[in-house]
Amino acid sequence: MLEVNRVRAEKEKVISALEKRQLKDASSLINRIIEVDDERKATQTKNDEILAEANQLSKQIGQLMKSGNKEEAEAIKNKSSELKSESKNLTEKLNSLEDELRQLLYKVPNTPNSNVPAGANAEANEVVYEHGSVPTLHDGALPHWELIKKYDIIDFELGNKVSGAGFPFYKGKGARLQRAMINFFLDEAVKMGFEEVQPPIVINEDSGYGTGQLPDKDGQMYHITEENYFLIPTAEVPITNMYRDVIVEVDKLPIKHVGYTPCFRREAGSWGAHVRGLNRLHQFDKVEIVQIQHPDKSYKSLDEMCKYVQGLLEKLELPYRVLNLCAGDLGFTSAQTFDMEVFSAAQQKWLEVSSVSNFETFQANRLKLRYRGDDKKTQLLHTLNGSALALPRIIASILENNQTPEGIKIPKILVPYTGFDMIN
């Protein structure tokens, strides 16, 4: 959530940045925020003045009662009651204005960093790095949704029977490969100084608002209506919310966490050519890295996190590319995002497997996540996170890229984790 003081102080700059994001009503929305904030301030000032006057009258009443001047004291009591009644009305108005201001700010996405390219959609994303060669497959090579049937390692039909579309069963070597990758990703992150946590996969509403999934992604999360809980779309949400309403000591920065969770998303869509098999699921496994960092150092951390994810892909021997997302393709809460895509040889397409983002103060402002500066005043921290990695499309690429007439080769780095080097 943008800070109101920043919106006021940098009005034209903020509007320009939001228009770069293709937010067409940016000017009217920002102007309305300032109008409501002006009215809120005026109401607060008036209420403060009335309360101050009421306090003074209360003191006079006490003095008059002591001196025996009861008639004058009663008159002032009536005036004091009128002021308190007016203050009550103003307080209700103030609460309403604060709620309206909050709801307006919830509609405003983060402003993109100056290094984010302009553009309306994914076609304007910039490829900033490519690594590896696209493999040449043998005749008769299959897409992963055929390979999983051939080797009986992932079962969509069984998942559809038990749960529904987008909830596959992993079986035999498919389940062991899944577990191997989770352990490999966690071990690698711990080596890089990330503290492992195992967070809940259910969050409350405050946590959803804290990291920006609510209200923006309300319809995309699974909602447990009776308790008003949500299934997490990513481990970013519970891990970052560990620090809601926290003031962090500067010498504790950066805070680095890694966590594995299943993730739940409703937007999986239909079984079409572009979303077949593991390309998009309702439930999938992901290892997430999260950092809380000093504002002066967060973009260095973003670069380090990107390089770390790239290192994982290289260890898995997968060809990949890095995209600097354009403003129109940024997530609602992000100031800058780099996507990592692996090439799926059988599908002849790039598949996004990781997004690494810097949210600057956007989440921290909602979370009230702060540090105390040299002047002893509290200031907002920066939050970052990244997929390291999401499993389904990695598995799809491994199956497709590493297939041979004899079976599917397991990347060497995973063999100590799987206990086998071929699926056949």
- pLDDT number for residue 268: 47
Q: Which residue ranges are tagged as binding site for ATP?
A: 265-267, 352-355
3-state class (DSSP) for residue 400: helix
Identify the DSSP state of 119: -
**Could you tell me where the DSSP H helices lie in 211-349?**
236-240, 298-315
Same structural domain, 281 and 345: yes
Q: Report the interhelical angle of 70-106 vs 26-66 (nearest 10°).
A: 160
Domain membership of residue 111 (yes or no) is no
Residue 303 lies in a domain: yes
CATH number of the domain enclosing 46 = 1.10.287
Contacting residues for 251 by C-beta, under 8 A, at least 6 apart: none
Task: Tell which residue, 370, 362, 418, 365, has the closest CA to residue 395.
Answer: 418
Residue 152 lies in a domain: yes
Same structural domain for residues 100 and 177? no
* Residue 21, domain member (yes or no): yes
Are 86 and 170 part of one and the same domain? no
Q: Which long-range contacts (CB under 8 A, 24 or more apart) does 403-406 make?
A: 403/137, 403/138, 403/141, 403/142, 403/147, 403/346, 404/138, 405/138, 405/140
Domain identity same for 63 and 191: no
Residue 116 lies in a domain: no
In contact, 404 and 324? CB cutoff 8 Å: no
Is there a domain that residue 193 lies in?
Answer: yes
Residue by residue, pLDDT tens for the chain (424 residues) are 999 999 999 999 999 999 999 999 999 999 999 999 999 999 999 999 999 988 888 777 767 766 767 667 777 778 888 888 999 999 999 999 999 999 999 999 999 999 999 999 999 999 999 999 988 999 999 999 999 999 999 999 999 999 999 999 999 999 999 999 999 999 999 999 999 999 999 999 999 999 999 998 888 999 999 999 999 999 999 999 999 999 999 999 999 999 999 999 997 444 444 578 999 899 999 999 999 999 999 999 999 999 999 999 999 999 999 999 999 999 999 999 999 999 999 999 999 999 999 999 999 999 999 999 888 899 999 999 999 999 999 999 999 999 999 999 999 999 999 999 999 9
What pLDDT, on a 0 to 100 scale, did the predictor assign at position 322?
98
- Residues of each annotated binding site for L-serine: 234, 265, 288, 385
Residue 25 structure tokens: 């009503």
Which structural domain range is residue 148 located in? 122-423
Q: For residue 112, tell me if it sits in a domain.
A: no
CA distance 299 to 324: 14
Structure tokens at 99: 């709620």
- The number of domains in the chain is 2
Clarify whether residues 139 and 199 are in a common domain. yes
End-of-domain residue from the set 54, 78, 106: 106
Q: Does residue 351 contact residue 344 with C-beta atoms inside 8 Å?
A: yes
Neighbouring residues of 14: CB distance < 8 A, sequence distance ≥ 6:
2, 6, 7, 26, 30, 111
CATH number at residue 334: 3.30.930.10
Within this chain, do residues 26 and 93 fall inside the same structural domain, yes or no? yes
Q: Give the pTM.
A: 0.93
Do 133 and 98 lie in one domain? The reply is no
User: Residues within the annotated binding site?
Assistant: 234, 265-267, 288, 352-355, 385
Quick one: pLDDT at residue 270? 42
Q: Which of 106, 140, 170 is the last residue of a domain?
A: 106
Residues 80 and 135 in one domain: no
Q: Which of 76, 106, 136 is the last residue of a domain?
A: 106
**Same-domain status, 63 and 153:** no
Asked if residue 417 is part of any domain, the answer here is yes
Shared domain check, 155 and 12: no
- Structure tokens that stand for 106 in this block: 């919830």
Q: Are residues 53 and 14 in the same domain?
A: yes
Is residue 74 located within the same domain as residue 180?
no
